[in-house]
Chain A
Amino acid sequence: MSLVPEGPTARGAVPHPDVHTYDEVNRDVLRALETPGKGWWALLAVAAAGVVLFFSAWGWQLYKGIGVSGLNSPVGWGVYITTFVFWVGIAHSGTLISAILFLFRSPWRQSIYRAAEAMTVFAVMTAGLFPLIHVGRLWHAYWLIPYPNSRFLWPNFKSPLVWDVFAITTYFTVSATFFYLGAIPDIAAARDRATGLRKKLYQVISLGWRGTDSQWHHFGKAYIFLAALATPLVLSVHSVVSWDFAMAIVPGWHATIFAPYFVAGAIFSGVAMVITLVVPIRKIFGLEAYLTTKHFDAMAKLCLLTSLIVLYAYLSEFFLAWYSGEEIERTAFWNRLFGDYWWATWTMLVCNGFVPIMLWFRRIRHSIPALFVISIFINIGMWFERYVIVVTSLHHEYEPFAWGIYRPSLTEMALMVGSFCWFGFWFLLFTRLLPPIAIAELKEVLPAPTRKKTGEAY
């Protein structure tokens, strides 16, 4: 069994019409790793500043107490959990594009999956911080991890939060491994062209890869199995995250639709984020030949599909709230649309439900600036989706007398903004240290050089 079906032309259109030889690929892609320009340094500086802000805000909170947030009772979860879910969501499409599209042999995968996977890894790294940020006693958070201790105490495996611990850590480990494994041959390629310190570095992290037949042979198998394992994992992780809410009895959380709804939402936001990230990379590193409109078209279509699923989820939530006849449920959803947080809800509906409708049009799908803008709208919308779910559900619950209002504090905002910088920081480093496009796999879909030009087709 082979990695590519019958040759590059199996799916008709050639994905990279402007790329001809293997050497070209190496040259173009590895050019990205050469000495960076001013723009990159500027961005890195901004990101670094944001990281400093992030950790000083966190330090401040640890020093004063979680009270520096705007949280209260009844709203015990706010921006922190919102941002956590947001980043977990972002983390999804990476592995999805990579693993699922790999299993389905989708021809537009190769040139974007490296960036997408990097995004996944860094997004999980960001998301993983927020549960730690939001707990009241960080210095005891390790109690959620099962380990033999002198108290004979163990975590409560019935609690969705413990499921989270397992899901997130597993997801991080697997996607990091998957990311690294896929990168090894390309790092080797980088090694063979690099010099000096970089060469040393690549020598180490390429693990002495030489592209021998046996290496490729086992590599292929291992990669397939990892993809096969990662695919259900992707689906499970965000289901588990959604159960943090669905397992609770809070009106607006307690819904069976949550798992698929969240997974769709995650892919939706993830793909949008990939577009947001890949557009500049393509421009800066001049990779137009590798990231063609065909790729963006495909991603836009995926966005469109998931946006429809998400919109459907919204509507069905409202419908079921009404149809159930359950007064408390009805009030909860009425309150979403017209209550104290109507603005959040409508932002969510517009950005996720209506803006993506433009993607029906081919012209928009093929206009990269348009896609870039839309993708940013979607990112905002998806953040607000989580905000709506978390906050509006909590602030009006069963006991009318205990209803309350939540106002995010500056500290929370700082941490939220800071998290984007933290993510950006790592992503910027990535673009300079690892080949942003999968070299080896790209070659698979290029026509192999043959001597007998008219000979039997390889």
Chain B
Amino acid sequence: MDNAAGLLASYEYLDSTVDAIKALKKAGFEKIKAYAPYPEHHIEHALGYGQSPVRVWTLVGGLTGTATGFALTTWTSIDWPLVVGGKPIVSIPAYIIIAFEMTILFGALATIIGLFVLSRLPSIKPPVVYDPEFSSGRYGVYVEGSRQRLEEARQIMNEQQPIELREGELDD
């Protein structure tokens, strides 16, 4: 679709970045992406983020772990019942520990997987729209739209005096 393209602006200041985003949003741009050297909640507010679904992954993972822990310990004990120290074949107090550890383990792993899935990591192919300075000191705003609307976007972005403003090919 050659009638659509992207614009990437790098800013030195946080407020200019946020203003740019706000303005773009007001102008009705949909596909806005922001870059920052650290998690910046102002930007997230500007883009209007809600709750991250990562927590669901964590919860499910944790519960699976608990279940697995109890199932494993109990079933193996019954499968070949051997008496030790005159204790019950299935002694729950001891198995709680196993269940607990597995809860944590599964929970943690699920969280990571969730994160990767949601934030499309790992993405090995080199970024088309990126500025190494984003990991150092600069903020970035990238917007996509049809050619005619991009002119509008370019003006809005320029208002905030970007250090650099360039055409970027369409990102993924």
Q: In the complex, which residue of chain B has the Cβ closest to the Cβ of A152?
A: B80
A91 to B54, CA, bound (A): 27
- Distance in angstroms from B45 CB to nearest chain A CB is 8
CA–CA, A214 and B112, complex, Å: 15
Shortest B49–chain A CB gap in Å is: 5
B42 within 8 A of A: yes
Q: Mark A197-236, 1 if CB is under 8 A from B, else 0.
A: 0000001100111111111111111100110011011001
Please measure, in the bound complex, the distance between the C-alpha atom of A185 and the C-alpha atom of B36, giving whole angstroms: 11
Of chain A, the residue at the smallest CB distance from B114 is A222
Instruction: Find out whether the CB atom of A22 lies under 8 angstroms from the CB atom of B136.
Output: yes
Q: How far is the CB of B136 from chain A (nearest CB, A)?
A: 5
Could you mark each residue 428-458 of chain A with 1 if its beta carbon is under 8 Å from any beta carbon of chain B, else 0? Answer: 0000000000011101100011111001101
Are B132 and A157 in contact, CB atoms less than 8 angstroms apart? no
- Could you tell me the dominant secondary structure of chain B's interface residues? helix
Known contacts A154-B76, A173-B108, A232-B104: A211-B121 contact under CB 8 Å = no
Interface size on B, residues (CB 8 A): 71
Given that A23-B137, A170-B104, A192-B136 are known contacts, is A225 also in contact with B111, CB under 8 Å in the complex? yes
Residues on B with C-beta less than 8 A from A140 are none
Among residues of B, the one whose C-beta sits closest to the C-beta of A166 is B101
- B 147-159 to A, binary, CB cutoff 8 A, 1 in contact else 0: 0000000000000
The answer to whether A26 has its CB under 8 Å from any CB of chain B is yes
- Are B37 and A226 in touch, CB under 8 angstroms? no
Are B111 and A211 in contact, with the CB atoms below 8 A? Answer: no
Given A22-B136, A209-B121, the answer on whether A222 and B37 have CB atoms closer than 8 Å is no
Instruction: Knowing A157-B76, A217-B52, A222-B54, say if A440 contacts B39 (CB, 8 Å).
Output: yes
How far is it, in angstroms, between the C-alpha of A375 and the C-alpha of B72 when the chains are bound?
43
> Complex Cα distance A203/B72, Å?
40
Most buried by B among A2, A146, A204, A214: A214
Q: Given A154-B76, A166-B97, A219-B39, A448 and B104 touching (CB < 8 A)?
A: no
B73 CB contact (under 8 Å) in A157, A189, A217, A455? A157
Question: Considering the chains assembled together, what is the distance between the CA atoms of A95 and B58 in angstroms?
Answer: 19
With A193-B132, A215-B119 known as contacts, the answer to whether A236 contacts B100 (CB < 8 A) is yes
Cβ–Cβ contact B119 & A219, under 8 A: yes
Write the nearest CB–CB distance from B43 to chain A, whole angstroms.
6
Kindly identify which residue among B38, B55, B108, B123 contacts A441, using a CB–CB cutoff of 8 Å.
Answer: B38
Known contacts A3-B41, A218-B52; A157/B122 CB under 8 A: no
Q: Which residue on B lies nearest to A1, using beta carbons?
A: B41
Interface residues of A in 133-159 (CB under 8 A from B): 146, 152-158
Per the bound structure, the CA–CA distance linking A441 and B36 in Å amounts to: 12
Q: With an 8 A cutoff between CB atoms, is A415 at the interface? A: no
Instruction: Give bound CA distance, A94 to B62, whole Å.
Output: 23
- B118 in the interface (beta carbon within 8 A): yes
In contact, B121 and A208 (Cβ under 8 angstroms):
yes
Closest A residue to B124 by CB, please name it.
Answer: A208
Binary CB contact string for chain B from 105 to 142 against chain A (1 if under 8 A, 0 otherwise): 10111011011101101111111001011111100000
Question: Which residues of A sit under 8 angstroms from B38, Cβ to Cβ?
Answer: 185, 211, 216, 440-441, 443-444
Collect the chain B residues with CB atoms within 8 Å of residue A213's CB.
33-36, 43-44, 47, 49
Smallest CB separation, A89 vs chain B (Å): 18
Looking at the assembled complex, report how far the CB atom of A102 sits from the nearest CB atom of chain B, in whole angstroms.
13
Indicate if the CB atoms of B115 and A222 lie closer than 8 Å.
yes
Chain B residues near A (Cβ < 8 Å): 12-16, 18, 33-44, 47, 49, 51-52, 54-55, 58, 62, 72-73, 76-77, 79-80, 82, 84-85, 87, 91, 94-95, 97-98, 100-102, 104-105, 107-109, 111-112, 114-116, 118-119, 121-127, 130, 132-137, 161
24 A-B residue pairs with Cβ-Cβ distance under 8 Å, sorted by A, are A26-B136, A156-B84, A157-B72, A157-B94, A158-B87, A158-B94, A163-B101, A170-B104, A177-B112, A181-B112, A204-B124, A207-B124, A208-B127, A210-B130, A218-B54, A219-B119, A225-B58, A233-B101, A233-B104, A443-B38, A449-B13, A450-B15, A458-B15, A458-B18
Give me 20 other A-B pairs in contact (C-beta within 8 A), A225-B55, A440-B39 excluded.
Answer: A1-B41, A22-B136, A146-B76, A153-B80, A166-B97, A173-B105, A177-B109, A181-B112, A189-B136, A192-B132, A192-B136, A207-B116, A207-B123, A207-B124, A213-B47, A220-B52, A221-B55, A229-B62, A449-B137, A451-B12
Residues of A that sit less than 8 Å from B by CB: 1-4, 21-23, 26, 146, 152-158, 162-163, 166-167, 169-170, 173-174, 177-178, 181, 185, 188-189, 191-193, 203-204, 207-222, 225-226, 229-230, 232-233, 236, 240, 439-441, 443-444, 448-452, 455-456, 458
